[in-house]
Structure 1
Amino acid sequence: MTHYTIDSNRIEIYEDYTFTEDSADNVDQYDFVYSDQSEYHFSSVFGIKIFQNDLLFKSAVIRSTGGKTEIHETSVIIESDRFLICCSDTVFCLSIPDLTLLWRTKADIATCFEIYKY
């Protein structure tokens, strides 16, 4: 699990390969589910939670097909009002603190390992 702190928001990002949409057996329930419209197995699945004053504010899960991606120092860009995250072949941009999907783009034919601010 990876933690980031922006102002009064704590962001947790972690792998959640047990998540199945519309299943009552999920360990975590999410406010939002963002994924590509694929019929294939999702190779990267990340749970994201925003905490304010140590209370869960919003949660989302993102998932994509393509090669598997890990969360590390250069796979996420955090800004004051949004963050970008590599997830398989896709880069997702979510708002802080609402976790609204601002945009997503398929950025590679296989896997996006790193993202840098230009």
Structure 2
Amino acid sequence: MLELTHGNIRITVSNNHTYSVGSVDNAASFKHEYLLDPKSEGHYSSKHGVRTERDGDEIASCILVAGGGASGIHTNSAVIHANSCYIAVGPFVASLSLPLLQLEWYTESDCATCFGVYFSPKHQCLISHGELEVARLSLKGEIVWSTGGADIFSNGFELLGDCVKVIDFYDQIYLIDIESGRGLMR
């Protein structure tokens, strides 16, 4: 489970592997059910529940459901900026309004799995750490650029001011300019 705060609002994001879309018999219930990948035809690998509360009282709840590669919940699964919570779910990044958790948009930022989402204050954008691609997204969910490497980006990811440092399966290091998406010399 991941816990975030926004002013006096507490946001929790959790895995809900046993959640069954459309069922009334789920162990956990949510006010909103957002299917991000309708073409998955019921084969959903990522099910992330989100709840907001203030002073111990629930404000809203939703579950984000997607196919593609499964994404887990960890420190970089979600980030808050302004009045939005951005969450990596399967191959998507989704934006939820705070505190009511209305789905603002969702974008497929990787063709396999989005491992995490980051906010770059200097560039006022989101960076998606995907399994196969690193992508820059506008705060409205538009992909500004996307770039891949020789293998999956599984061995490290870091924002370094004006660039992203990402390491692939074979420990090859990539430095990617946040502004342009071009690789930088090391």
Length-normalised TM-score, structure 2: 0.60
Give 1:25 deviation, angstroms.
Answer: 1.1
Give 1:5 deviation, angstroms.
Answer: 1.3
Which range moved further: 97-106 or 30-39? 30-39
Q: Which amino acid aligns with 2:25?
A: D
SS in 2 for 1:21: coil
Unaligned segments of structure 2, at least 5 residues: 121-186
Q: Distance in 1 between matches of 2:68 and 2:100?
A: 27
Q: Distance in 2 between matches of 1:75 and 1:21?
A: 22
Residue in structure 2 matched with residue 29 of structure 1 by the alignment = 29
1:89 to 2:91 alignment: yes
1:10 to 2:36 alignment: no
With CA pairs under 8 Å and 6+ residues apart, which has the higher RCO, 1 or 2? 1
Residues 29-48 of structure 1 correspond to what in structure 2 (within 5 A)?
A: 29-35=29-35, 36-37=37-38, 38-48=40-50
Q: Which amino acid aligns with 1:6?
A: H
SS in 2 for 1:105: strand
Q: Distance in 1 between matches of 2:22 and 2:90?
A: 22
Query: Percent identity, aligned pairs only?
Result: 32
1:77 pairs with 72, 79, 91, which one? 79
Q: Distance in 1 between matches of 2:24 and 2:116?
A: 34
